[in-house]
Amino acid sequence: MIFEATPLHGVYVVEPVKREDHRGFFARLFCDEAFAERGLETRFVQANTSLSRSRGTLRGLHYQYGEAAEVKLVRCAVGALYDVALDLRPDSPSFGRSFGVELQGCRMLYVPRGCAHGFVTLAPNTEVHYMVSTPHARSHERTVRYDDPRFAVSWPLAPAVISEKDSRAPDFDPAHHLIETLRGLL
Ligand SMILES: Cc1cn([C@H]2C[C@H](O)[C@@H](COP(=O)(O)OP(=O)(O)O[C@H]3O[C@@H](C)C(=O)[C@@H](O)[C@H]3O)O2)c(=O)[nH]c1=O
């Protein structure tokens, strides 16, 4: 597996190595040893999937705070998407910056604790699969609005479909977004 560093501390684009033959290919999507060698999370407790019917469906930017902070390993299983990590760790050298990458095929994004995550779909009927390191904790969820002026995330297209929760997320406020609970996660 190839781990490409990004401008965000601890965020990696993960490229599985494909072993090709006349049938097609084989690739590892997760390898405990390869992740452990790089000090990355190896314990995932949930594998999630979502289907977005329309191109331009935007989900995010979501994270869990405090003890519920979670690592995500995200892959687009069907279709294509533009995946974004936003660094909310106050003590991170890349605090406040975002990184986006197109995911399709085997390419994945590793999103560490303390980063918010979201995506916009680039094709109809896009299916996302992602593993998370901490159980879902509704009481510890926060959303940064996709168009929050504080972060000015650059999206490749305007959202055509978005949940009410995501469109109504309040403007960034360190107290509401509890970013102090994301200190010390580096
Ligand atoms: C995330 C999650 C949601 N749910 C429920 C809550 C709700 O009824 C329904 C849909 O939830 P949401 O609207 O939050 O789904 P969605 O907007 O797809 O949320 C996801 O967005 C992406 C960007 C992420 O990074 C994920 O961690 C997750 O937050 O599923 C669970 O039961 N378990 C879970 O782990």
| pTM score, whole prediction | 0.98
Residue 164 lies in a domain: yes
Task: Determine, yes or no, domain membership for 24.
Answer: no
Question: 141 falls in which pLDDT band (50, 70, 90)?
Answer: very high
Q: Residue 76's closest CA among 112, 28, 126?
A: 126
Is this complex scored with an ipTM above 0.95?
A: yes
CATH at 165 = 2.60.120.10
Residue 169 alpha carbon to ligand 1 centre in Å: 15
Structural domain contains residue 32: no
Q: How far apart are alpha carbons 176 and 115 in whole angstroms?
A: 16
Instruction: Provide the residue range defining the domain that includes 157.
Output: 43-182
Question: Mutation test of ligand 1: which of 48, 120, 126 has the most ligand atoms closer than 8 Å to its C-beta?
Answer: 48
Does residue 34 belong to any structural domain of this protein?
Answer: no
Q: How far is CA 120 from CA 15, 65, 71, 84, in A?
A: 20, 23, 19, 9
In a domain, 4, yes or no: no
Any residues with CB less than 8 A from the CB of 60 and at least 6 apart, and which? 84, 116, 117, 118, 119, 143, 144, 146, 166
Q: Over the stretch 37-57, which tens digit does the pLDDT of each residue have?
A: 999 999 999 999 999 999 999
> Residue 79 half-sphere exposure, CB side, CA atoms within 13 Å?
22
Note the pLDDT tens digit of each residue in 52-96: 999 999 999 999 999 999 999 999 999 999 999 999 999 999 999
Could you confirm whether 12 is annotated as catalytic? no
Instruction: Decide if 155 is inside a domain.
Output: yes
54 within some domain:
yes
Residue 165 belongs to some domain of the structure: yes
Q: Into how many domains does the chain fold?
A: 1
